[in-house]
Chain A
């Protein structure tokens, strides 16, 4: 269930002779409906966030995003992301290497298992860690005895976030590395290159743009994860609140402007993610054109 399918629009496909396309009127109507739908479903919510965020003026906006609780939520979110994303990056590269460069039994089963977190509801992704490490969980009593806190603390938030964003980088890299085959690596190996050398000098340069997009997308999802983190965090203000949870709390306290102000920060992150994606597509199209 890849969240990242990099299909760039080719110019060729849109250049069509008259007899295999629709009449101009139908074309305009179809484009109109598509744009209207996207405007209503995607653009309107996007615009509303900024309008609501600045409704009470610039000062309220600045005060909301520099509030100590907001800052501590930002710090916790950053810390979580800095652990979860590198872990999933290493995993993504290892999984893609094993799956794309070698033949083995059960490969399809492995790919399906990697997809599992996509299919699990975020709330359930949080629940499983509560069942393991919560006070009434399997390891709960043992953890309490040794004074280790996982649930309602950073480790739980990191675990839940890692679980939810688990497949993103692997799913971005696997098809890319499969498409590139093994010839270049085998050539390097037969010339005497060692494993890491092959990876750094041959494989990585070929997939770097895809990897970058995978990391950025994983990052966006890790920052924005709500359901799973909501279950394991305990909502302790200034302590275990991530940015999305902070937004929820402000919203439920009817501090709408503050809530949308913090939300607008996350929108900026989402927009940066989309820009990086366009950049990656542009770069990989260039790479293809060169070959």
Chain B
């Protein structure tokens, strides 16, 4: 594809790129820039006081910790599910494979009320967990479960194609040389899976930090305890505290841009790996 820069005989470059940039600016870039302009209206003290307020800090902590926990759990089980789907044969495999995408397709509010119903003290799971002293709904555990639901497809779907294209010969060779299964996994398979695993982890984590719909029902929304950052933005807006909402949002936006850059870098690296290998 190199070198076709100005020599391409295909038409429509100006039109398609022009429209792309125009639409991108109108729908995404200009609205986002509005946040920056609005924040510029705050003095540094106002901004700092808002984002270091105890309740705001607690909400960042809840959002970060639950998203991180959920992403780690998804890392383990996402890999396991991808592994089982790619490598083993069992009845109903195709159906299970489709089911992995459900969290992508299901509206978040629907997931939220369903999970709350299950884990409420009188729910299907809650009634068994409550006597054991495990409170899931209206606690950070509930938030984490909602984020596991939301993030699962990211890990499975980034690992799956790489696992599928993994060369059997390398594994064969490892066996010939006398490596045991576990050693082959650790030394041969794992290094190949690391980039997609990290990408999937980062995607699930980034999505978890910003997630609102599936969390807001199950979290119970207690300030300092189970209040997530997006909900606090919502609360500030309802109180017409636009500057407060914007300040909290700016911190989250910066965090998610950094995540996006990391993710794109990881994807770029693993693509290059495939291209070189």
Which A residues contact B (CB, under 8 angstroms)? 1, 3-5, 7, 9-10, 13-16, 19-22, 27, 30-31, 33-35, 37-38, 40-46, 48-49, 52, 87, 90-91, 94-95, 97-99, 101-104, 108, 110-124, 127-132, 134, 136-138, 159, 162-163, 166, 181-182, 185-186, 189-190, 194-195, 198-199, 217, 220, 223-227, 230-231, 243-245, 247-248, 251, 256, 259-260, 263, 266-267, 269-271, 273-275, 277-278
B217 touches A121 (CB 8 A): no
Q: Which one, A182, A260, A274, contacts B8 given CB within 8 A?
A: A182
**Which residues of the other chain, B, contact A33 by a CB distance below 8 angstroms?**
77, 80
How many of chain B's residues touch chain A, expressed as a range? 35 or more
**Which residues of the other chain, A, contact B256 by a CB distance below 8 angstroms?**
119-121
A15 to B161: give the CA distance in the assembly, Å.
Answer: 16
Q: Quick one: which of B81-112 are within 8 Å of A by CB?
A: 81, 83-90, 93-94, 96-111
A269 to B84: give the CA distance in the assembly, Å.
Answer: 28
- Nearest residue in A to B39 (C-beta to C-beta)? A131
Q: Say yes or no: A190-B9 contact (C-beta < 8 A), given A41-B152, A94-B19.
A: yes
Q: Say yes or no: A42-B117 contact (C-beta < 8 A), given A20-B168, A166-B27.
A: no
Could you say which of A40, A110, A127, A186 has the most chain B C-beta atoms within 10 Å of its C-beta?
A127
Question: Is the C-beta of B195 less than 8 angstroms from some C-beta in chain A?
Answer: no
A134 to B35: give the CA distance in the assembly, Å.
Answer: 13
Mark interface residues in B6-50 (1 if CB within 8 Å of A CB, else 0): 001111110111011101100111111011011000000000000
**Which residues of the other chain, A, contact B114 by a CB distance below 8 angstroms?**
45-46, 48-49, 52, 260, 263
Question: Is the C-beta of B137 less than 8 angstroms from some C-beta in chain A?
Answer: no
A245 to B261: give the CA distance in the assembly, Å.
Answer: 33
Interchain residue pairs with CB less than 8 A apart (17): A9-B85, A9-B164, A20-B168, A21-B88, A35-B96, A38-B96, A41-B148, A44-B118, A45-B149, A49-B110, A91-B24, A110-B21, A123-B233, A166-B28, A217-B105, A226-B107, A244-B110
- Interface SS of chain B: helix, strand, loop or mixed? helix
A38 to B114: give the CA distance in the assembly, Å.
Answer: 15
A195 touches B105 (CB 8 A): no
**Nearest CB of chain A from residue B183's CB, rounded to whole Å:** 13
**Which residues of the other chain, A, contact B111 by a CB distance below 8 angstroms?**
45
Question: Is the C-beta of B198 less than 8 angstroms from some C-beta in chain A?
Answer: no
**Nearest CB of chain B from residue A149's CB, rounded to whole Å:** 17
Which B residues contact A (CB, under 8 angstroms)? 1-5, 8-13, 15-17, 19-21, 23-24, 27-32, 34-35, 37-38, 77, 80-81, 83-90, 93-94, 96-111, 113-115, 117-118, 123-125, 145, 148-149, 152, 157-158, 160-161, 163-164, 168, 171-172, 175, 181, 184, 203, 206-207, 209-213, 217, 229-231, 233-234, 237, 240, 242, 245-246, 249, 252-253, 256-257, 259-261, 263-264, 268
B10 touches A123 (CB 8 A): no
**Nearest CB of chain A from residue B119's CB, rounded to whole Å:** 10
Q: Which one, B80, B115, B172, contacts A34 given CB within 8 A?
A: B80
Q: Say yes or no: A48-B98 contact (C-beta < 8 A), given A102-B10, A116-B32, A266-B107.
A: no
A260 touches B242 (CB 8 A): no
Q: Say yes or no: A198-B161 contact (C-beta < 8 A), given A46-B102, A263-B110, A266-B106.
A: no
**Which residues of the other chain, B, contact A13 by a CB distance below 8 angstroms?**
86-87, 163-164
A124 to B242: give the CA distance in the assembly, Å.
Answer: 12
**Which residues of the other chain, A, contact B207 by a CB distance below 8 angstroms?**
1, 118
- Nearest residue in A to B11 (C-beta to C-beta)? A195
**Nearest CB of chain A from residue B165's CB, rounded to whole Å:** 8
B35 touches A131 (CB 8 A): yes
B113 touches A251 (CB 8 A): yes
Q: A119-B256, A128-B34, A137-B34 are in contact. List 5 more A-B contacts (CB 8 A).
A: A41-B145, A91-B24, A103-B3, A124-B233, A226-B212
The 9 closest A-B pairs by CB, nearest first: A224-B107, A121-B210, A227-B212, A226-B213, A45-B114, A195-B11, A270-B105, A123-B230, A98-B17
- Nearest residue in B to A113 (C-beta to C-beta)? B24
**Which residues of the other chain, A, contact B246 by a CB distance below 8 angstroms?**
127, 131
A185 to B234: give the CA distance in the assembly, Å.
Answer: 49
**Which residues of the other chain, B, contact A162 by a CB distance below 8 angstroms?**
27
**Nearest CB of chain A from residue B22's CB, rounded to whole Å:** 9
A5 to B156: give the CA distance in the assembly, Å.
Answer: 10
B16 touches A44 (CB 8 A): no
- Nearest residue in A to B85 (C-beta to C-beta)? A9
B158 touches A5 (CB 8 A): yes
A224 to B34: give the CA distance in the assembly, Å.
Answer: 26
B109 touches A101 (CB 8 A): no
**Which residues of the other chain, B, contact A116 by a CB distance below 8 angstroms?**
28, 32, 257, 260
A266 to B149: give the CA distance in the assembly, Å.
Answer: 17
Q: Which one, B94, B113, B233, contacts A247 given CB within 8 A?
A: B113
A124 touches B210 (CB 8 A): yes
A103 touches B88 (CB 8 A): no
Q: Which one, B15, B27, B84, B106, contacts A163 given CB within 8 A?
A: B27
Q: Which one, A42, A49, A138, A260, contacts B34 given CB within 8 A?
A: A138
